[in-house]
Amino acid sequence: MNEKQVHKFVNRYLEATECSILEKSPSHFTVKLSPFADRELTNRPYYWSFVDRLGTEPETMTYLLVTDKQKYDAMEADKAAGSKTAAAPAETEEDQAANAALSRSLGFVHGSLASNVRVPREDLYFGSRKLEQLFDAAKSKGSFVYLFQEMDKKSPHPYSSSPYTAWLAVNMRVEFACDRKREEIHSFGVSLATGLCVEQFHDRLVTMKLTPRLPSNIHITRNGLSYNKAMSIVEAALERKLKSYDYGWAGEASARLEEELARITGYYEPLISNALEETKAAIEEQFVQRQAEIRWQFEPRVTASAINCGIIHLEGID
């Protein structure tokens, strides 16, 4: 994941969570978090429990989120070099005496009491703690969506109504694993009105404008399928697709598994047969554990899991 992809993801997250972007460039965001994002990202449970108990207006945090450290630091260096600050006027003897008195009575006094509150900086790059936190927040809160297609043209008749059909959209991850691993993403859409199942449904959705708000002058057709029935249609479609695959890799993995089991058997059996009684049980236990590890590593398996899903209302009756 490069800097541009990180920047695009962060921008989408901030917009989706309704954060206030105070300053923005291709390499950074200065943002005041929304209450929702503050709860997710700042780890301030005591503060938010205080706000919830008293019902007060929350004061959310402001962050500097840097998505391209090299460009941002270079930009800041250019700003610092280009801005010539005016020389401060020389202190008079009276000023020096007053400052000395303040230092004796109050200790250290910051030179700029009117300075802005410090804005914490977070460098976001693939693998950084804060970006992983954003991923987790987006995954936990964005695993299910409820959206409507925006109509390209509004009806000229205020009392007319266009039919919309609800679709169950599911993105599935299929993992082919042995001592090697490969993943595939499959996107399905099932019409809850007719049961029609469409593959590569996500590709169809990305060409549309979708909104969480119910558009005007539409009506939703009645669902003929339950969510469980629609999900079973997705599972059946994915199973049919996977049955058509070539599983020669699984046979090769099973052969490598047998070779590894034979290798460790040849190593441990002489140890067990020649071991003393007090150590034999420990060696046998280690042998069984090693066999389990080898099977977990080499045994071929195919697993499917849902990444995210949603109910998408699309124009027309399908």
What does the alpha-carbon distance between residue 288 and residue 265 come to, in Å, rounded to a whole number?
Answer: 10
For residues 64 and 132, state if they share a domain. yes
Looking at the structure, tell me whether residues 220 and 260 fall in a common domain: no
Q: What is the pLDDT of residue 96?
A: 62
Are residues 243 and 256 both part of a single domain?
no
Provide the token pair at 214: 């119910």
Q: In the predicted model, is pLDDT for residue 78 greater than 50?
A: yes
- Stretch 242-251: mean pLDDT, rounded? 95
Q: Are residues 221 and 147 in the same domain?
A: yes
| pLDDT for position 152 | 74
Q: Domain check: are 310 and 177 in the same one?
A: yes
**94 in a structural domain:** no
Q: Do 32 and 128 share a domain, yes or no?
A: yes
pLDDT value of residue 109: 39
**How many domains does the structure of the chain reveal?**
3
201 and 271 in one domain? Answer: no
The pLDDT confidence band at residue 145, using thresholds 50, 70 and 90, is confident
Determine the straight-line distance between the first and last CA of the chain, rounded to whole angstroms: 37
Using DSSP's 3-state secondary structure scheme, residue 98 falls into helix
Whether the model clears a pTM of 0.85, i.e. scores above it, the answer is no
When pLDDT is averaged across residues 41-53 and rounded to a whole number, the result is 91
Partners of residue 169 on adjacent β-strands:
189, 310
Q: Is 175 contained in some domain?
A: yes
Separation between Cα atoms, residue 170 and residue 310, nearest integer Å? 7
